[in-house]
Amino acid sequence: MPRPTTVEEPLAPALAEPLDRFLAEMEQGRGLADNTLDAYRRDLRRYLRFLARQGIEALDRATGPEVAGLLEELRQAGLTPATVARNLTSIRRFHRFLLRCGQATLDPTEALESPRLERPLPDVLSVTEVSRLMEAPDLSTPLGQRDRALLELLYASGLRVSELIALQLPSLELDSALIRVVGKPSRERLVPIGRPAVRQVAVYLERSRPRLAGPESADTIFLNARGTGLSRMGVWKIIRGAAKGAGIDRRISPHTLRHSFAAHLLDGGADLRAVQELLGHADISTTQVYARLDSQRLREVHRRYHPRG
């Protein structure tokens, strides 16, 4: 039996019309994706209904305690800190829009602090799992040789998947064991790679890529069976297939290899600033999540092996 549909009471025009204008500006002026607009709409309709329940029918009467009350209600309902923070961001941008348009004189979110969000620890492979992953492709086929070269290069360099699929033949300096990478935002960096990656990429370029290349290949390094450049989804499928072949039963992605690259460097004693440079992070705070991962590992070792751990 179908569940009954809950019909929401329409918002009062004094609340609904400013929301419609805000969403129209977000859509036209900023070209936001549909899912982002949907999140704004959902968050702000929730906020405006909350205000209506408090007897507030005009936005210029909303104050900080009302906004804080909604956020506490969301926490009590079990929403994650990230979702609560996103709601506050939506409400803050809405009120700043009202100020800019002269529809309000105060921003009730001005004194509210966003919840502190701790970046989740990245999922990484063990060194043994990396070895099994590298051995998974079938090297008797051109596609298998491509897959092995791709996996070795990702783990050796810590590239983002977007950087990997954008690599061109002139980007490679295999004699010097270097690759030239254009990252975000259009910042070029030189990344060293190890002997296994150099060897497998050289084998792929010599034996397999010529068999895959076609009229539309140009200088793109990693090609699919049609001779065009791999897509992001194509790289995901290669990694998932290799993980299955290696007996790794959890979901991994191109970023898992990037995480593993960074974590294993730090495990080996690499300097955090050097890892930041290799990853192409503009801000070291982004890289520090791997230091937290290393600290967690050390705490686990201490708890396990110290007499009073």
Query: Residue 23: which H helix or E strand, with range?
Result: helix 13-30
CA distance 31 to 249: 39
CA distance 256 to 294: 16
Nearest-Å Rg of the Cα atoms of the chain is 26
How would you class 300 by CB atoms within 10 Å of its CB: exposed for 0-12, middle for 13-18, buried for 19 or more? Answer: exposed
CA distance 218 to 227: 9
State the distance between the two ends of the chain, measured CA to CA, in whole angstroms.
56
Specify whether the backbone of 36 is left (phi greater than 0), alpha (psi in -120 to 50) or beta.
alpha
CA distance 63 to 51: 10
Residue 57, classed as helix, strand or coil, is coil
Residues with Cβ within 8 Å of 293's Cβ and at least 6 positions away in sequence, in order, are 121, 122, 124, 263, 266
Taking the CB of residue 294, how many other CB atoms lie within 10 A of it? 14
Catalytic residues: 160, 184, 255, 258, 281, 290
